[in-house]
Structure 1
Amino acid sequence: MSSAISVKRSRDLATPPSTVWALIGCFHALQRWHPSVTDAHNSGEATTPGALRVLTLEGGASIAEALIRYDGHARSYEYRILCSPLPVSDYVGALSVSNTESGCQVHWEGWFSARYVPDAEAKATIASVYDAGLQSLQELFSTP
């Protein structure tokens, strides 16, 4: 990636990877598990590069994203932000689920440049987005 900043987060879940992927592996399903996303308008097949999602966030701002790579067998996809109020540009993100002995690990990472803010602030913003989503997954899958 040519972008200067990267953020990587992961979370272990005591849940089979196929169960977690059934929820997060759908590019059009972020509003079902990320607490900051209140609505989404989607177009295109959720597993086909070129699919689009426009996410409505708490407070009414929106983010437009495009799917750029999908591999259901490897349980991973990559996407690009097209338009966003976030302080980043040239953002590419990747979400994946891998096997562990006790269940699975969800990986979320992104590469980007800071826009109108110091690098540390852009990095902290993206880290907080990832952390909120991963915490939500942990809560969803730890509920009996």
Structure 2
Amino acid sequence: MAHTTTSIDIAATPGQVWQLIGGFNSLPDWLPYIPSSTLIDGGRIRHLATPAGDVIVEQLEAYDNAARSYSYSILQAPFPARDYLSTLQVSAIPGSAGARVTWSGRFTPVGVSEQDVTELFHGIYVAGLEALQQSLAK
């Protein structure tokens, strides 16, 4: 099973960051390559639209508001992977008022090398966290 993780430090409090990203339906609020999200099944499944018209279906697996963290799996996506589980977490930076946001995932490649699928998701996470930082800087 492949995995990747990346993090970014943001000049906003953990509470401010979590306010923006902590909702399972909040991706369109800060992630430009997800223009819409629709919740079903009591808010545990989200249907994400991409600018290319693809649909990604994800399921909320764990949510911890106090720890500012949630984990989700992918049920349907145009990605060459299965058994995908990802976690998005906001934590305090010791000795600072800022926040560290970490996005990690594990997955099994399908039809591509472990390196290729790892680079794909790592790129998504890095671009997403950079977009988050830009959203909060406004």
TM-score by length of 1: 0.90
**Residue 56 of structure 2 corresponds to which residue in structure 1?**
63
Q: Percent identity?
A: 35
Q: Which residue of 2 aligns with 1:138?
A: 133
Alignment map for 1:115-130 (pairs within 5 Å) = 115-130=110-125
Inter-partner Cα distance in structure 2 for 1:104 and 1:93: 19
Q: Tell me the residue number matched to 1:23.
A: 20
Structure 2 gaps of 5+ residues are none
How is 1:1-144 mapped onto 2 (pairs within 5 angstroms)?
4-46=1-43, 51-100=44-93, 101-143=96-138
The Cα of 1:31 is off from its aligned counterpart by: 1.4
CA contact (8 A) 1:38 1:58 kept: yes
Matched length: 136
Q: TM-score, normalised by structure 2?
A: 0.94
Q: Against the structure 1 CA distance between its residues 22 and 44, is the aligned structure 2 distance closer, same or farther, given a 3 Å change threshold?
A: farther
What's the CA shift for 1:44?
A: 4.2
The residue type paired with residue 114 of structure 1 is P
